[in-house]
Structure 1
């Protein structure tokens, strides 16, 4: 198969070019399969969603809104301005505002009354909650609110008016991703060109890499959209930057591996075609196994409960699959066609082994990569190297103790964003929880008749830590425009409480506080003397808590699946069980260290970020494991294992470090999107990949293989402490590859 790619090199190159053209012309683009809906980010069967629907149905009046109009004047809203807020809401409720009939209802609340901590100022701020018919799209809701503000809410010289809420924030986030994605693509192209060009000091090598990236990107982009349409799922906008960066990075990695080996063989004196065949025979099995590892690991996300992760996993797997197939065919075919011209204007030079580098004079060693010396020291003092690496990783991982998860949809937007600014203005006049309250619903036959118990429960809820205000059946008189009838159902079989938290309703503090309240509710209900009732919670804080809990449950379930898949692939490729165990353990340690550092930097992380980063880092780490250990296994066929480890590790170190640096740089560019989740992913992936390339693969893994020795290959027989017929003089590269 590998020889066939070289033999049919012109057919392969022309075929991929035609395939890319056909994909662009015949298949839909991924932009046509996007979704801006919030539904992809929450569990399908979320109890909080069911409670919200039941609350609206039973009471006939919603209390939860994700689109809000905020008015604030630090000098105070005049009586006329406050009256105008109420008058506009009344007109909307009567559908008396032409062009805005799709706004089903409006509920105005001002801070003219109330006390701390519910209000932070007096008479400065008004919030109008907007409610829409179910058929109004999330994006249209924010647009309607903005247009209403522009046409009917006059601005004041000292005041601010804006639209905020989860619906508006989701639209802003999607727009920011679309705006910055072309910048990320161009920056990644520049990074790849500079890194590969600097590594090989040539023009052709980066051009080949970029051409491979372009073809793989065009094909995967359109195939993903086509598959999505056929299977009935949409691609969240949040997924595309990660798919792009991963594809660019993976193709670049594989191209670097091919180019590095091809240049070394040319430097050894092999003709163009012989070098291309030997490179393909040696590298394609390694790269194929590495790609399959990433594909299998990311595909395990299909078992997640969140639609976002269920699409995220297969989307990444499909991108890597296309990148793999294109790389293992197009790159070797081009090597066979272009040959030495890829490295013009420089001539390929022999890369020294560890032993040869050790014999250089100090002058000759100037500029020699320090990685070879690090590999040599790791192999000479393996126990010290392992102990040092484990200690460093353990210290970095200590930050995990302080890790907290949140869902900062609004506050995750960049400073100065109008949606975030409107949120900040509202939080100056009210407690932040007013932006997205929680509703507790009690259901039971004639529960409204248990007035004393309902009032007692309201008082107990108000005493809970993290709660600023509770409105409910005990309310006398109505507060802030909230109707008393909104707290008791028409049939008397349900009652509900409007709970306002003191902290950001989508932040870790409010989510943790609501979790504690949720755990105490059964006891509070019983202590209040309420009988034969069931409690449920609705609202974004409750939904975020439930989503985070289910995401963590997914992590506990899918993490073993991912590790098992990686173990299986490594075991089959290496024909061993021992080595895959400690290789995976090293990758997990690297992930834990990256997460610990991320926790120290950010304090709290967006709830799905650790999940995505875990799968990506562990699978990509195993990708490098395959390349590094695969080279060791190959080298061990021609020399004793003790010699094969430093020789293979030093020869692979430069390629792995460059590949890791390029991939880390590519993920760092995701941070250009000014949304907190993307910046968290950028930092965690960059730190994790650098740890992997500079510490794990350069020091820890060679030291571990040295300690375990030939037992690493158990139960296979591919390793031994001495290699039959091996000497200090390496055999011809063609023979290492299995050729004659």
Structure 2
């Protein structure tokens, strides 16, 4: 039984041939070398308000404070305690000594200040630092403060440094060497899985080398992009872009190499075989990569600049990955001939192993009982999605890390003995004429500990407000909203800023982004599928399955986060980014499957066509899905909860899509619908000629 359609004639337009392939590889090496040696540095985010929309109230407040000169300094807070015991006289003398010693580390012209808790169990010293100090320069003074404050303390007295500058330093340390760790771990995972997939001692080196170089070129291209377009980078966006390039690039390589090996069993000339493989695989690869790029570009409409940065950087990375996969990889593969596949060298006339392989048996089983399989598959997705009813979003500042850095420890101690907002007060900017009335109404807001004069300039006064709630907690957000309502009831032009207000505005921006971007991504994916398959039914069905996969993955992951990981909530950015990656990347496998089914449907009925498509693509798509899932899971090497959550949700979702939805549920639904799956295209018409077997 022959399951393949007539081979297409090789395209002469492909950049392939004995000498052409060598030239392409040489040009790629030279271009890559130029990009890697360019030394162009990307624009980076280096302050808190960079994560806010420019029109957010807290961002406006920060800009106004900067122009007034009233926000020039922010304190690092050194907390001293004995684990709940009373401070001794020696402890108090030690704190006084530290005040003198730490004075040399404060910003010029600023004084350090000690504060003792009313319960007598703790004290803290505020060390003012310049607000405009770049992130990369904060580590030195924070390290010096930590070293000096912990030196020569009485036995049992503990010191920990917290506050805004300390949190910034601890967060930046998460990404120290992150590029190298991610690159080494990702490359190792990809190498292992490619070695298992191809069972060849050297074949895996070619796609890994091409994708690895593409990853570094993509990083350079992103740096160039930040100099030309209005976006920047940070540790998270760089890591995610690298994962996207490795994951997507290797997926495209797997699909192309599988088609190439298939053609080598039909065609003697390796260049002709690659031309045919490229002409057959390129449309699906371009459609899938185009879907991912367009979905990432949808983030350009986000209010949150961080989301926009991930979108633009990721789009550039995917474009680089697909160029290297469709131009450089084919040329590199043909340089080495058939021996590259040793010890399983494909020869002309060999039977296609997928014809009688495990996926052909799966296809036969699934399409034989489409109703039962469809019902069971849908029920499985529903069960996995049930935990969604309890999902919580929003992590406080102390909940951002998987490990517990010193800034978190210090904040927890501070919250036990002082108003929790002492380390990061909220600012209220109002007209000087209304300052007294605003101070009075703000002081009456639930959750406000105290209101102090923060200085004035011209007609504007600044009030410093200490909250009782933990920073960036729901209680703190409620208090900030209460402060805004009270202050603006007196002065409609009053602005409320500070770290808690910035976190609140970031949360609101994330909610607006989800409401806008998620439907936009769905429309983009739907339009791409409509253009590719020319079928409304197929496009809607495939979009519905990837959305169901996302819901099931998010629900199952949330259950794991609460029962296994102990995470209190999802980070604000996680639902949107996980949806983007799962829908855009998940639809890839459906594109690979259904484009092959459409190709086979020209010669066979729909059930036979989807069976052939699953039999032929099942192995390579499963390998690609496992590899992509593993690559996203690599994000867990960084001790930041946000990236761990994205890695787990996307990794599990890709496996779910690969092993259940694409390989079982979609073929069953296609078999159930029959030719109606292709409606209103010509394949849906009863007079379409097919060869039934």
Q: TM-score, normalised by structure 1?
A: 0.82
Local SS of the residue matching 1:605? coil
1:28 aligns with 39
Instruction: Spell out the pairing of 1:489-508 with structure 2 (5 A cutoff).
Output: 496=463, 498-502=465-469, 504-506=470-472
The Cα shift of 1:292 comes to 0.9
| Helix, strand or coil at the partner of 2:14 | helix
Aligned to 2:4: none
The 5-angstrom pairing of residues 413-432 of structure 1 reads 413-430=401-418, 432=420
Aligned to 2:60: 50
Pick the aligned partner of 1:669 from 621, 634, 638: 634
- Secondary structure of 2:528's match? helix
Equivalent residue, structure 2, for 1:715:
680
1:135-190 CA-to-partner distances (Å, cap 9, x unmatched) read 32244345324324434664423122232234323333333323243222122222
1:121-520 superposed matches below 5 A: 122-151=119-148, 154-156=151-153, 157-231=155-229, 233-268=231-266, 270-348=268-346, 350-352=351-353, 357=356, 369=358, 371-430=359-418, 432-439=420-427, 445-446=433-434, 448=436, 454=440, 458-459=443-444, 461-462=445-446, 467=447, 470-472=449-451, 485=453, 496=463, 498-502=465-469, 504-506=470-472, 510-511=473-474, 513-517=475-479
Deviations 1:609-657 (A, max 9, x none): 2222111111101222211111111111222222101111222121111
Q: Distance in 2 between matches of 1:53 and 1:228?
A: 23
- Mark the CA change 1:534 to 1:109 in structure 2 (over 3 Å): closer, same or farther: farther
Q: C-alpha deviations, 1:210-251, integer Å up to 9, x for none?
A: 121123123212111122123364311211111111111111
Cα distance in 1 for partners of 2:40, 2:458 equals 51
Is 624-633 or 703-712 further displaced after alignment?
Answer: 703-712
In structure 2, which of residues 27, 31, 47 is the aligned counterpart of residue 15 of structure 1?
Answer: 27
Is the deviation greater in 186-195 or in 80-89? 80-89
Q: Specify whether residues 187 and 716 from structure 1 end up closer, same or farther in structure 2 by C-alpha distance, changes over 3 A only.
A: same
Tell me: CA distance 1:68–1:5, structure 2 relative to 1, closer, same or farther (3 Å). Answer: same
More deviation, 600-609/715-724? 715-724
Deviations 1:358-400 (A, max 9, x none): xxxxxxxxxx64x544433332232333332222222222322
Q: CA deviation at 1:726?
A: 2.7
How far does the alpha carbon of each residue in 1:672-700 deviate from its partner, in whole angstroms, 9 at most, with x for none? Answer: 11111121111111111111111111122
Q: How far is the alpha carbon of 1:703 from its aligned partner?
A: 2.2
> Does the 8 Å CA contact 2:222/2:316 hold for their aligned counterparts?
yes
Give the aligned partner of residue 554 of structure 2: 595
Change in CA separation of 1:531 and 1:559 when aligned onto 2, cut-off 3 Å? closer
How far 1:78 sits from its partner (Å)? Answer: 3.5
Flag structure 1 segments of 5+ consecutive residues without an equivalent: 114-121, 358-367, 473-483, 729-740
SS at match of 1:69: strand
Query: What is the DSSP-based 3-state SS (H/G/I as helix, E as strand, rest coil) of the residue aligned with 1:617?
Result: helix
1-structure distance, mates of 2:491, 2:282: 67
> Measured at CA, do residues 304 and 665 of structure 1 come closer, stay the same or move farther in structure 2, by a change above 3 Å?
same
**Normalized against structure 2, the TM-score is what?**
0.87
Distance between the aligned counterparts of 1:373 and 1:29, measured in 2? 53
**CA displacement, residues 283-326 of structure 1 (integer Å, 9 cap, x when unaligned):** 11111111111111111111112221111101101111011011
**Preserved CA contact (<8 Å) 2:388 2:554:** yes
Q: Structure 1 residue 21: deviation in Å?
A: 1.4
Is contact 1:441–1:497 with CA below 8 Å preserved after alignment? Answer: no
- 2:14 is aligned to 4
Query: 1:245-285 deviations in whole A, cap 9, x for unaligned?
Result: 11111111111111222222333565433422221121111
In structure 2, relative to structure 1, the CA distance for the partners of 1:214 and 1:139 (3 Å cut) is closer
Q: Tell me, yes or no, if structure 1 residue 643 matches structure 2 residue 608.
A: yes
**Distance of aligned partners of 1:167 and 1:637 in 2 relative to their CA distance in 1, 3 Å threshold:** farther
Maintained 8 Å contact 2:477/2:500 = no
**Secondary structure at the residue paired with 2:337?**
helix
Find out whether 1:109 has 2:115 as its counterpart. yes
Whole-angstrom CA distance in 1 between matches of 2:100 and 2:66:
20
TM-aligned CA deviation for residue 206 of structure 1: 0.5
Write the deviation string for residues 412-454 of structure 1: whole angstroms up to 9, x where unpaired: 2343533333334434444644443445566684452699xx2
Query: Which moved further from structure 2: 684-693 or 193-202?
Result: 193-202
Report the counterpart of residue 87 of structure 2 in structure 1.
77
The within-5 A match list for 1:525-604 is 536-600=495-559, 601=561, 602-604=567-569
Encode CA deviations 1:1-36: one digit per residue, 9 max, x unaligned: 6742223322222221221112122x2355x54444
1:611-650 paired onto structure 2 within 5 Å: 611-650=576-615
Q: Which residue of 2 aligns with 1:686?
A: 651
Distance in 2 of aligned mates of 1:450 and 1:435: 22
Give me the whole-angstrom Cα distance separating, in 2, the residues matched to 1:640 and 1:717. Answer: 13
* Cα distance in 1 between the residues matched to 2:86 and 2:180: 44
Q: Cα distance 1:725–1:292, how it changes in 2: closer, same or farther (>3 A)? A: same
The answer to whether the 8 Å contact 1:633/1:719 transfers is no
C-alpha distance in structure 1 between counterparts of 2:279 and 2:437, whole Å: 81
Compared CA separation, residues 40 and 596, structure 1 to 2 (3 A): farther
Sort the Cα spacing of 1:497 and 1:593 in 2 relative to 1 into closer, same or farther, 3 A: same
Taking a change above 3 Å as real, the CA distance of residues 686 and 15 of structure 1, as seen in their structure-2 partners, is same
Taking structure 1 as reference, are residues 67 and 274 closer, same or farther at Cα in structure 2, changes over 3 Å only? same
Residue aligning to 1:700 = 665
Native 8 Å contact 1:249 1:662 kept in 2: yes
Residues 4, 525 of structure 1: CA spacing in aligned structure 2 closer, same or farther, 3 A cutoff? closer
Give the unaligned 5+ runs of structure 2. Answer: 1-10, 562-566
Asked whether the equivalents of residues 150 and 158 of structure 2 are also in contact (C-alpha less than 8 Å), the reply is no
